[in-house]
Amino acid sequence: MKDNSKEILDGRKSIEDIDNENSLRPQLLSEYIGQDKIKENLNIFITASKQRSEPLEHVLFYGPPGLGKTTLSYIVANEMKVSIRCTSGPLIERAGDLAAILTNVEPGSVLFIDEIHRLPRIVEEVLYSAMEDYKLDIIIGKGPSAKTIRINLPKFTLIGATTRAGQLTSALRDRFGMTFRMDFYPPKDLAQIIKRSARILKADIKEDAILEIARRSRGTPRVANRLLKRVRDFGQVQNVKIITKVLVDSSLASLDIDDKGLDSLDRRVMTVIIKHYSGGPVGIESIAVAVGEEADTIEDVCEPFLIQLGFIIRTPQGRKATDEGYKHLNIERKGDSQGRLI
């Protein structure tokens, strides 16, 4: 049976997100909610670049999926009043693919590469001189007769986004003039995002319903917007005109999302660590096999939020469940000073 709740709580982009994000996406830094320190620094760097009539230095955004890396990239282009071209690491398979993109960038424009950690190494090496010197070296021919042609590129801003900064080589990472880590959002910021999205979607929603969705959104704006739209669907079918906390509770219960924002896969991961491996430590591959899910999904979607909640920790030996994790699943830890399970 398909686990629909995981699709809803997955911070990675879905087809629906791509279709709908433009309508909900803020266009300027002043409209962007949360990540205040990043906004403050970006505003200074953008203003300084505009005053010097120079492109912004290359920027790297990293952090869990769904926190606004793509949105901030569009905002940078809007604030700089330049065009933006978007692509992703998996789509750039050969050096020639990157060359075709770079030779068509406009002066001062933004090139956004999502999942930049997935660029093949040979492509990444071509990117070095493009980022540093705004030059592109192309090899023509093969063998002894091969020769290198150097093409001058217009100055541009590369913005990279990744959920796995640790997988970037130091050579690539060091070529970014600015690096920003995106953090999970507190409920108060998510509540503002939900309120803004509800207004755009023309959804009538009560304040306590907003707060409840915010509380269960895993600290992730993309998840918050997705939950809002799913609750709206339940209300529409049930002919409920106003989204209330009662509707939110019943809708999320139907989606198997608990009071902390965990779904069935999150709880299966926790259960495997606790019951199959006595609380850990256990490797991510073993967990993935036990729950029947890809290791990347657990690492990118489940694990960051479980760590944020303090339900699991990462150790050199593997993942371990914490006392809070046991408590959330209502499982008594064996060897607890208050008693043992029989």
Catalytic residue numbers?
69-70, 114, 163, 222
Which amino acid appears at position 85 of this protein?
R
Provide the β-strand partners of residue 135.
Answer: 152
Beta bridge partners of 243: 205
Q: What three-state secondary structure class fits 157?
A: strand
Cα angle 109, 43, 195 (rounded to 5 degrees) comes to: 100
Query: Hey, what amino acid is at 86?
Result: C
Please give the structure tokens belonging to residue 92.
């750039």
In angstroms, the first-to-last Cα distance of the chain is: 34
User: What's at 1, amino acid-wise?
Assistant: M
Which tokens belong to 262?
């965990």
Which of 201, 323, 35 lies closest to 332, judged by CA?
323
Question: How far is residue 116's CA from residue 243's CA, in Å, rounded to a whole number?
Answer: 39
Q: How far is CA 263 from CA 11, 269, 332, in A?
A: 13, 10, 21
Which has the closest alpha carbon to 216: 266, 269, 268, 258? 258
In sequence order, what DSSP letters do the residues of 48-102 get, joined into one string?
HHHHTT-PPPPEEEESSTTSSHHHHHHHHHHHHT--EEEEEGGG--SHHHHHHHH
Task: Give the contacts of 282 (CB within 8 A, at least 6 positions apart).
Answer: 272, 273, 276, 318, 319, 320
